[in-house]
Amino acid sequence: MADMMWAGRFSKQVDETVNAFNSSISFDGRMYRHDIQGSIAHATMLGDCGIITKQDSLEIIGGLEEILKDIDEGRLELDPNAEDIHMFVEAELTKRLGDVGKRLHTSRSRNDQVAVDLRLYLRDEINEIKNLVKELISAIIKMAKEHTETIMPGYTHLQRAQPITFAHHLMAYVWMLLRDLERLSDTRERMNVCPLGSGALAGTTYRTNRKQTSDLLGFKEPMPNSLDGVSDRDYCIELCCDLSLLMTHLSRFSEEIIMWCSWEFKFVELDDAFATGSSIMPQKKNPDVTELIRGKTGRINGDLITLLTMMKGIPLAYNKDMQEDKEAIFDAVDNVKLCVRTFTPMLSTMRVLKENMRNAAARGFINATDCADYLVKKGMPFRDAYKITGTLVALCIEKNLTLETLPVEEYRKMTELFAEDVYDAISLETCVRERKSEGGPSPDEVTRQIALAEERLEIYNRV
Ligand code: ARG
């Protein structure tokens, strides 16, 4: 009982099961640096405002720095029986400094403390995730540069549709990931406000300086409403949304790689270091990494639902339900980092089987639109051209031919507008080269797009 900081009000010891149930140090212990950082700012402000003496303030700061060093260097272990990281650090400080340590929590509550810790912690995590995403984007761009002429079929409904290049396909993911970066930056910006000084919920009667703590911790400004300061977990939810979307992108990319690795496609081959074998089937080379990423996407979505559901019914201000925020958002952050860290080298070492892509593009009549466009350019209305081409495709299927191998006489039976030059017009190279509308797959256009993406990336590198 004596151990509990709030013991004064109670006449009985807390049941052991409740103690264990309540404790969050097993998962919030990871925020010890940020907790100490927040406490140092708070103690500095208390000293400067004359709420505690300068001497006490300095002693507290010194003590906190010592504790930080001792944990960092393994001399001090977190007590698994402590209620949470905030209680642990404060108790340790008091153990070391005696009464002076007990002055740290003046004009503060764990409610604003935990809110500030989590913002500090997630701010750092966002930086790390952004760096990982930037590395991934660079890796994709590098690969795209090598494949601006690599023809592959583009699909809709997973049916071969129109010819594109592998670079064009890769660059689609670059734009998704650039938006992910942008979202993470936005979230970080909105998260970067300081709840410290909100107290338990209703501020404080001490004459504090919230701007000072906010500035010391690198926040943009103090949060304007103390109730909001301790009640808000938007920033966790928003970050988790960003991470769900990022994972959705990685999951789609993973799904494609899984298909491309199959014998049915064989567009790519994973490096041996990034594939696994089967315990029974000797021929197998499995794309486990991509499957796990696809699987973990569900898990991150689960974290998002956890957070949203946890928040939706709780009245202002702090409620213990909110302690559940940490495991969910930490799980999301940890797993996203794992996924991106593994995905990037897997992708960079993946072998691209250009021939197979080209062969797949040569079957499936993906130049049929171009055949119709050929007639349109000779003056026929598109709908008529579309119909004639459809009939020709049916004829090819019946005769086991392609549009490239169908004799010109057959073409001319449909309309005299067809001539020998149809073969050039429907060659895959022409089809791709001529798709130079903005954003299209022509090598020139994709090269322009790559330069644009590099420019964008450069901007995000600066912010
Ligand atoms: N461990 C708690 C959490 O993570 C800290 C805040 C506790 N506040 C309280 N009033 N019990 O939410």
For residue range 46-91, list pLDDT tens digits in order.
999 999 999 999 999 999 999 999 999 999 999 999 999 999 999 9
- Domain 111-147+163-359 = CATH 1.10.8.80: no
The mean of the pLDDT values for the chain is 95
Q: Which of 376, 364, 293 is nearest to 335 (CA)?
A: 293
Quick check: CB of 187 below 6 Å from ligand 1? no
Amino acid at 455: E
Rounded to whole angstroms, how far apart are CA atoms 222 and 224?
6
Q: Which of 23, 169, 231, 278 is catalytic?
A: 278
Question: pLDDT, tens digit, for every residue of 49-61?
Answer: 999 999 999 999 9
Q: Which of 86, 105, 157, 442 is catalytic?
A: 157
Quick check: CB of 28 below 6 Å from ligand 1? yes
What are the residue ranges spanned by the domains of the chain? 7-106, 111-147+163-359, 363-462
Question: pLDDT, tens digit, for every residue of 410-435?
Answer: 999 999 999 999 999 999 999 999 99
Average pLDDT over residues 249-274: 95
User: Cα(105) to centroid of ligand 1, in Å?
Assistant: 14
- Asked whether the predicted pLDDT for residue 15 surpasses 50, the reply is yes
Question: pLDDT, tens digit, for every residue of 210-249?
Answer: 999 999 999 999 999 999 999 999 999 999 999 999 999 9
Choosing among 1.20.120.1810, 1.10.40.30, 3.30.200.20, 1.10.10.60, the CATH entry for 363-462 is: 1.10.40.30
Q: 336-371: string of b/e by CB count within 10 Å (b at 16+)?
A: bbebbeebbbbbbebebbbebbeebbbeebbbbbbb
Quick check: CB of 230 below 6 Å from ligand 1? no
Instruction: Specify whether 278 is catalytic.
Output: yes
Q: Which residue has the higher pLDDT, 160 or 463?
A: 160
User: Cα(48) to centroid of ligand 1, in Å?
Assistant: 27
Q: Which residue has the higher pLDDT, 156 or 282?
A: 156
User: Cα(23) to centroid of ligand 1, in Å?
Assistant: 9
* CB 229 within 8 Å of CB 200: no
Length of the chain: 463
Average pLDDT over residues 93-113: 98
Question: pLDDT, tens digit, for every residue of 347-406?
Answer: 999 999 999 999 999 888 988 999 999 999 999 999 999 999 999 999 999 999 999 999
CATH of domain 7-106: 1.10.275.10
User: Cα(227) to centroid of ligand 1, in Å?
Assistant: 15
Per-position DSSP letters for 19-66, written without gaps between them: HHHH--HHHHGGGHHHHHHHHHHHHHHHHHTTSS-HHHHHHHHHHHHH
Please, what is the angle between helix 32-48 and helix 54-72, to 10°? 170
User: Cα(242) to centroid of ligand 1, in Å?
Assistant: 26
Alpha-carbon distance values, 365 to 80, 154, 369, 376, 380 (Å): 65, 12, 9, 18, 21
Instruction: Specify whether 138 is catalytic.
Output: no
Write down the pTM of the prediction.
0.93
Quote the Cα angle for 8-12-13, to 5°.
95
Quick check: CB of 344 below 6 Å from ligand 1? no
- What is the position in ligand 1's atom list of the atom closest to the CA of 200? 10
Quick check: CB of 23 below 6 Å from ligand 1? no
